[in-house]
Amino acid sequence: MDILPQVLISGASVGSIYALVALGLVLLYRTTHILNFAHGDIGVFATFLAFVMLQSLGLSYGLTLVLTLSAALIIGMVIYTLLVKPAKNQSHLGLLILTLGLGLALWGMNALVFGTDNKAVPPIIPDRPLRLAGAAVSQLSLFTALFGVVLMTVLWALLRFTKLGLVMRAVAQNQEVAKALGIPVRQAMLATWAVASVLAAVAALLFAPLTLLQPAMMLDPLSKGFVAAVLGGMNSLPGAVLGGYVLGMTEMLVGTYLLLEFKASFAFLVVLLVLLLRPHGLLGRAKVKRV
């Protein structure tokens, strides 16, 4: 029990990353009905850009963060404009294959341009232990958990209190009705891809100092982000956050107090159990079709 605070903060840190990935996936899915399998690779590409700015160009963390998130914003807009918008008449399966192809293309480009060797990304704050309730807590893990909460709060405020957020929510509810009411659906789609790409970049930037940067870095967080999204409900943004934190916490608790080998498969067992009891996720709602 002496290490419980350390375990909980580590779980919240990982859970923040899962939640950010899940938020990006759910935001896109409920607005465009596209499962974006290139989500993690977009984040990796943005993190490689940040690594070059920090190590090769010697830019400050603040300026690097602004430039990296701006680049992610533009990347999301370019993907929608050049790939998704021209393929709008494709089936859901066709769009899914499109994102798979995009992910493979980005993975190959990351490997070709930046290399496949592991790179250590310097943390934004010194990773020194902090004594909390008798346990040594990583300052980096605590920062990651708090930064994730701040960003999710900003996203909630954007969707709740801005005109852009209102438009995005209207399009997510019903595209045809939104179009009939004169709501700019294409602009909402463009903004959704841009915001989702920023979320992918932030998740990767937070995850990189906890591991090593390489083209496949986000493979595990992406799979866990899908798990968190399904766990919370694929049409619920609060569900994505809840699913991310539940998954991160339970993984850390299971890995620490039960079996470390069981940690990797535990996430999928949790999803299986939740879907048996609540097929639409913890906070998801079933779609009602009127005939």
Tokens standing for residue 87: 């393929």
- Non-local CB neighbours of 114 within 8 Å, separated by 6+ positions: 48, 51, 52, 215
Distance CA 224, CA 219 (A): 9
Q: Where are the domains of the chain?
A: 4-277
* pLDDT value, residue 134: 61
What one-character-per-residue DSSP string does 1-29 give? -TTHHHHHHHHHHHHHHHHHHHHHHHHHH
* pLDDT value, residue 193: 94
Q: Which CATH number fits domain 4-277: 1.10.3470, 1.10.1220, 1.20.120, 3.40.50?
A: 1.10.3470
Q: How many alpha carbons fall within 13 Å on the CB side of residue 123?
A: 15
- Name the pTM for this structure: 0.90
The per-residue pLDDT string of the chain (291 residues; one tens digit each, 9 = 90 and over) reads 567 777 888 888 889 999 999 999 999 998 888 899 999 999 999 999 999 999 989 899 899 999 999 999 999 999 999 998 888 777 778 888 999 999 999 999 999 999 999 999 888 777 777 776 666 677 888 888 888 888 889 888 988 888 888 888 888 877 778 888 788 888 889 999 999 999 999 999 999 988 889 999 999 999 889 988 988 888 888 888 998 998 888 888 877 777 666 666 776 777 778 778 887 777 776 665 444
* pLDDT value, residue 291: 43
E strand spans, 64-138 = 129-132, 135-138
